[in-house]
A and B are shown apart, each in its own frame.
Chain A
Amino acid sequence: MRHDHLISAKQLSRDDIEAVLDRAATIADDPPDHGDAILALLFFEPSTRTKMSFDAAMKRLGGTTVDMGPVETSSVKKGETLADTVRVVEGYADAIVLRHPSEGAAKMASEFVDVPLINAGDGAGQHPSQTLLDLYTIRENAGLDDLTIGIMGDLKYGRTVHSLASALTNFDARQHFVSPESLRLPRSVRYDLHEAGAQVREHTDLEEVLSELDVLYVTRIQRERFPDENEYRAVAGQYRIDEGTLAAAREDLVVMHPLPRVDEISADVDDTTRAKYFEQAHNGVPVRMALLDAMIGGEDR
Chain B
Amino acid sequence: MSDDTLRVSKIRDGTVIDHVPGGQALKVLAILGIDGSAGETVSVGMNVPSDKLGRKDIVKVEGRELSQAEVDVISLIAPAASINIVRDYEVVEKNRVVRPDRVEGVLACPNPNCITTGDEPVASAFEVLDAGVRCAYCDTIIRRDIADHI
Binding site for B on A (CB under 8 A): 79, 81-83, 100-105, 107-108, 111, 122-125, 186-189, 191
Contact = CB atoms under 8 A, between A and B. Distances in A.
Interface of B: 111, 113-116, 118-122, 129, 134-141
B114 A104 contact: yes
Given A83-B122, A108-B115, A124-B113, 18 more contacts: A79-B119, A81-B121, A82-B115, A101-B113, A102-B113, A102-B138, A103-B111, A103-B115, A104-B135, A104-B137, A107-B137, A108-B120, A122-B115, A122-B138, A186-B140, A187-B141, A188-B140, A191-B129
A123 B139 contact: no
A104 B121 contact: no
A188 B141 contact: yes
Contact of B116 (A104, A122, A123, A187): A104
Contacts of B111: 103
Contact of B136 (A79, A107, A186): A107
B32 to A, nearest CB: 27
Contacts of B138: 102-104, 122-123, 125
A81 B120 CA distance: 6
A83 B121 contact: yes
Contact of B120 (A83, A103, A123, A124): A83
Nearest to B140: A188
Contacts of A107: 115, 136-137
B69 to A, nearest CB: 19
A122 B113 CA distance: 10
Nearest to A7: B137
B139 A103 contact: yes
A104 B115 contact: yes
Nearest to B116: A104
7 contacts: A103-B113, A103-B140, A107-B115, A108-B115, A186-B139, A186-B140, A187-B141
Nearest to A79: B119
A124 B111 CA distance: 11
A102 B118 contact: yes
Given A81-B121, A83-B121, A105 B115 contact: yes
A234 to B, nearest CB: 26
